[in-house]
Copies of this chain bind each other. A is one copy, B any other.
Amino acid sequence: MELWYTEHHSDYVHFSLKVKEQLYSNQSDFQHIAILDTYEFGKALVLDGCLMVTERDEFIYHDMIVHVPMATNLNVKSVLVIGAGDGGTIRELCRYQGIERIDMVEIDEMVVEACKEYLPQTACSLEDPRVHIYYEDGLKYVRRKVAEYDLILVDSTDPFGPGEGLFTKEFYGNCYNALTEDGILVNQHESTYYDAYVEAMKRAHHRIKETFPIAKVYQAHIPTYPSGHWLFGYASKKYDPLTDLQEEEWNSLELRTSYYNTKLHRGAFALPNYVKEQLNENE
């Protein structure tokens, strides 16, 4: 038998992975959850028909969502992570000794349970004593918080299903209030290619820029995401990710990373002209 997983990057572009075995498939209250064992990318988490994480390239996404803000402010002590059920973001955060508390708010407990069982590579730090998991809607959780976190990471799905509320102006405003004066917000920011993603990306950037005095966008090469060109949004009350980068201090920590380095940090903010134009279209 030949088993292939196919993802529709658009109506006209399909991306297919040969599958050894479907390890898990379940419908939660929020979404369809599957774990596939693929030949090229190892085990993969698929939510509502979108690849979220694969064993082989997850390091890129997780390096970039965590180390970019951390290298900008190494004094981060309290972190809120929204989404991130696979645990990869938590794993990278736990490498920083200075972080005292990580609150993770994931709407779907079933995702976490599936990842703990099938994706220990990413879920390995969910038992760290600094980590507190809340199974609820991140949108509602963050409304109650004021000046509590130095860093918020929005490691969400695309804004087409349960993740939709995490791309609203109300949500970004609540994040602003939940952050301390040192606060940094990083969110996964969709892609520069394929119309549905581009529209989501433009809307997100526009709303974040209305909320935060510093709002920039950075990029990474992620082979299993549509077009391979993925963006992250960086916003802060105070810290610029380039002029405030703590290059020497971060390097002196000697964290071993497979994607991130401080030169790449600077390079990631150097966007192509057509992406800069997309981001400025709403201005």
Show the binding face of A for B, using Cβ within 8 Å. Answer: 4, 10-18, 38-40, 59-60, 192-194, 219, 221-223, 227-229, 257-261, 263-264, 266-274
Contacts and interface: CB of A to CB of B under 8 A. Distances in A.
Nearest to A218: B267
Contacts of A13: 15-18, 40
Given A223-B228, A272-B221, A274-B259, A14 B16 contact: yes
29 contacts: A4-B14, A10-B40, A13-B15, A13-B16, A13-B40, A14-B14, A14-B15, A15-B15, A16-B16, A192-B221, A193-B223, A219-B221, A221-B227, A221-B229, A221-B272, A222-B228, A223-B228, A223-B229, A227-B228, A228-B229, A259-B274, A260-B273, A261-B272, A261-B273, A264-B270, A264-B271, A266-B267, A266-B270, A267-B267
A257 B15 CA distance: 29
B15 A272 contact: no
Contact of A18 (B11, B223, B261, B268): B11
B270 A258 contact: no
Majority DSSP secondary structure for residues of A touching B: mixed
A229 B219 CA distance: 12
Contacts of A18: 11-13
B38 A272 contact: no
Contact of A258 (B59, B263, B266, B273): B273
Nearest to A193: B223
A18 B263 CA distance: 39
A1 to B, nearest CB: 15
A272 B60 contact: yes
Nearest to A274: B258
Contacts of A219: 221
A40 B40 CA distance: 25
A190 B189 CA distance: 27
B273 A263 contact: no
A152 B36 CA distance: 46
A127 to B, nearest CB: 28
A39 B12 contact: yes
Contacts of A228: 221-223, 227-229
A16 B17 CA distance: 11
Nearest to A221: B229
Contacts of A229: 221, 223, 228
